[in-house]
Amino acid sequence: MTPKGFSLKLGDTTIEDTFAEAFRMVYARLCITAHDEHWLDAALRELTGYSSSVIACDAETGIEQMLAADATPDGRVGASVLVFGFSPEAVGKALVNRVGQCVMTCPTTAVFDGLPAAETRVALGKNIRFFGDGFQKSKLLEGRRYWRVPVMDGEFLVEDRVGIEKGVAGGNVIVQSIDMPTGLAAVRRAIEAVSPCQGVIAPFPGGVARSGSKVGSRYSGLPASTADAYCPTLRGRVETKLHDGVNCVYEIVLDGIDEAAVATGMKTLLYAAVGEGIVAITAGNYGGKLGKFHFHLRELL
């Protein structure tokens, strides 16, 4: 393990001696299938929209992995999607709303539970079935109940209940670059590298947040506000955490099914993001007071 305070570099990039602070959340895994990739993509875009942060969204969601037809329950192309929230009840409510509005409405889709062995379960098709106005039908297959809801292109197939497991949310890296093009290239490399990692999602747009936040605000009622210490335009007006020569900062946040998945994802991000013009990589934490999961950057390397 690298001694605390030792200056570690990957190429020309300084890796700060700090840690990302993550916390406990729960998650569901949905397997969504469709007639072809076009309609699958349409459903996924709708389902995972407006879900970057539970600061103001009902859930944090993202595509875990794309699935070939031979890896899905109904033999069609599909994807596994992770949906994170603070409680099973919160995740359950978000699932009903998002699946009902974003997936059932999309031509040809079906929804299956991706955590069939989970002991904690929440209703999904059990609630959505009422859209069938009494014409819905249920079927029990190998101990799993499904609902067939009549829609205008046939039937929407959705599993009755879905599993909930404990996960870890809030793993992060903060990339400091000399300018915007360099920073954008680095975070795109990082997101492309982490995409194959199973068990993690990056819920922000394109996997990246430009509006990193701190806890609290000078305005009452706001739980979070801009991370002024990382804003280049505020250099000289606030106590900055920017390295010399830095003019652009991006953050990548990861949610995962467990500590190991988040650690693997963060390690992948670190190695992929370094490069010419990336001055430093750090991470966000709250002094260890917010979450019990601490991912030390240098230990990951």
pLDDT tens by residue, 81-97? 999 999 999 999 999 99
How many C-beta neighbours within 10 Å does residue 82 have? Answer: 25
> 142-162, pLDDT tens digit by residue?
999 999 999 999 999 999 999
| Share above pLDDT 70 across residues of the chain, in percent, rounded to a whole number | 98
**Domains of the chain, first to last:** 8-22+167-300 (3.30.70.520), 25-165 (3.30.70.520)
Measure the CA–CA gap between 32 and 117, rounded to whole angstroms: 18
> 180-229, pLDDT tens digit by residue?
999 999 999 999 999 999 999 999 999 999 999 998 999 998 999 999 99
Of 176, 151, 178, 175, residue with least CA distance to 252:
175
Helix 180-194 with 259-273: angle, nearest 10 deg: 140
User: What type of residue sits at position 13?
Assistant: T
Measure the CA–CA gap between 213 and 225, rounded to whole angstroms: 5
How many C-beta neighbours within 10 Å does residue 281 have? Answer: 24
Across the range 17-41, mean pLDDT stands at 97
pLDDT greater than 80 at residue 5: no
How would residue 2 be classed by pLDDT, with cut points 50, 70 and 90? very low
Asked whether the beta carbons of 122 and 161 are under 8 A apart, the reply is yes
Structure tokens at 59: 């859930």
Q: How far, CA to CA in Å, does 99 sit from each of 95, 104, 181, 202, 228?
A: 6, 6, 36, 20, 37
**Is 184 in a helix, a strand, or coil?**
helix
User: What type of residue sits at position 230?
Assistant: Y
How many C-beta neighbours within 10 Å does residue 17 have? Answer: 16
pLDDT at 286: 85
